Amino acid sequence: MKRFMINSEMSAQYARDGYFHARKVLTAAVLNVFSKELRQKMAALTQNQPPLEERSTYKRAFTQVTNLWQKSDIIRDFVFRADLAQLAADIMGANGVRLYHDQALFKEAGGGATPWHVDQVYWPMDTVNTCTFWIPLQKTTAEMGTLSFAKGSHLKVEGREMVISDESEAFFSDWVRESGFEVSRDEFELGDISIHAGWTVHHAGPNQTDRNREVMTIIYMADDARLLKRLSPTQAVDRDAFTPGSQPAELISTSLNPVLFSR
Ligand SMILES: O=C(O)CCC(=O)C(=O)O
């Protein structure tokens, strides 16, 4: 299959909207091998979960496991794919990208909505050149809980201090409506990838079907990203987990953050 190429219209759309729906990037054959491995690892790593009704809003939204690339060669090969990393660099207009981290997000059958939020409130990098590849492992309809974005919200600063919570849901759902943002409502075919910037306001609906909504994500940052000079307590937790040992204002280059593509 030919590599998915980003043209100037696509990167301009990403810069304007804060997200881009890349269609038919990966083949079913690639995804089927990957999802079989991922499903097995997720089953082994997420045993004994409490029933949905006993969980917090956050934990009802999805079961989350991070840096799975460290647990399997098949997953590492997928997360480290140079073609995906180049796509990330191209759409952001960056010279190259490093891995920030990966995470699987499985929204269980009957699982709750993912509250409106921004991702970068958690992240300790000094750049806006960050993006998440949200890679569904099945055709994903609105009933399963697709991602929706407030188009252009990455250019505003309101609510940026709020972590994922009932509070972020209440604030952003009002703000998005009252500010008149257009909200994307895409469904995703197997092979499609949703790409969004770290400050884009987004949410996902509940999973109203009887099967899990399985998604893998890869989070990239520009290869010249530095650690912020001052970190919030939330960002310090992320620093310790995903860029351990990084120093204020210095280039982030730990062994967990390899360069995955460079020009
Ligand atoms: O998959 C979801 O429900 C939420 C994903 C998300 O918020 C993200 O990847 O940034």
Q: Is the model's pLDDT at 51 over the cut of 80?
A: yes
Which residue range forms the structural domain that includes residue 142?
8-45+56-242
**Pocket probe mutation, ligand 1, options 58, 134, 201, 238, max atoms within 8 Å of Cβ:** 134
Residue 181: band (very low, low, confident or very high) from pLDDT cuts 50, 70, 90: very high
Task: Tell me if 37 is assigned to some domain.
Answer: yes
Task: Tell me if 82 is assigned to some domain.
Answer: yes
Residue 179: band (very low, low, confident or very high) from pLDDT cuts 50, 70, 90: very high
Summarised one tens digit per residue, pLDDT across range 189-208 is: 999 999 999 999 999 999 99
User: What's the 221 CA to ligand 1 centre distance in angstroms?
Assistant: 17
What value does the mean pLDDT take over residues 162-170?
96
Task: Tell me if 214 is assigned to some domain.
Answer: yes
- Provide the pLDDT for residue 212: 96
Summarised one tens digit per residue, pLDDT across range 96-117 is: 999 999 999 999 999 999 999 9
Task: Tell me if 263 is assigned to some domain.
Answer: no
Per the structure, the count of domains in the chain is 1
What value does the mean pLDDT take over residues 66-85?
98
What value does the mean pLDDT take over residues 33-59?
94
- Indicate which CATH number applies to the domain containing 112: 2.60.120.620
Task: Tell me if 158 is assigned to some domain.
Answer: yes
User: What's the 199 CA to ligand 1 centre distance in angstroms?
Assistant: 13
Residue 143: band (very low, low, confident or very high) from pLDDT cuts 50, 70, 90: very high
User: Among the atoms of ligand 1, which is closest to the Cα of residue 105?
Assistant: 1
Task: Tell me if 253 is assigned to some domain.
Answer: no
Q: Is the model's pLDDT at 17 over the cut of 90?
A: yes
User: What's the 252 CA to ligand 1 centre distance in angstroms?
Assistant: 24
User: What's the 20 CA to ligand 1 centre distance in angstroms?
Assistant: 14
Q: Is the model's pLDDT at 66 over the cut of 80?
A: yes
Task: Tell me if 96 is assigned to some domain.
Answer: yes
Pocket lined around ligand 1, Cβ cut-off 6 Å: 61-62, 105, 107, 114, 119, 132, 134, 145, 147, 202, 204, 215, 217
Q: Is the model's pLDDT at 48 over the cut of 90?
A: no
- Provide the pLDDT for residue 82: 97
User: Among the atoms of ligand 1, which is closest to the Cα of residue 204?
Assistant: 3
Q: Is the model's pLDDT at 1 over the cut of 90?
A: no
What value does the mean pLDDT take over residues 58-69?
94
Q: Is the model's pLDDT at 175 over the cut of 90?
A: yes
Average per-residue pLDDT for the chain: 97
User: Among the atoms of ligand 1, which is closest to the Cα of residue 219?
Assistant: 9
Residue 2: band (very low, low, confident or very high) from pLDDT cuts 50, 70, 90: confident
User: What's the 126 CA to ligand 1 centre distance in angstroms?
Assistant: 22
Q: How many CA atoms lie within 13 A of 15 on its CB side?
A: 13
Q: Is the model's pLDDT at 75 over the cut of 80?
A: yes
Task: Tell me if 251 is assigned to some domain.
Answer: no
User: What's the 8 CA to ligand 1 centre distance in angstroms?
Assistant: 26
**pTM, full prediction:** 0.97
Question: What percent of the chain is predicted at pLDDT more than 90?
Answer: 96
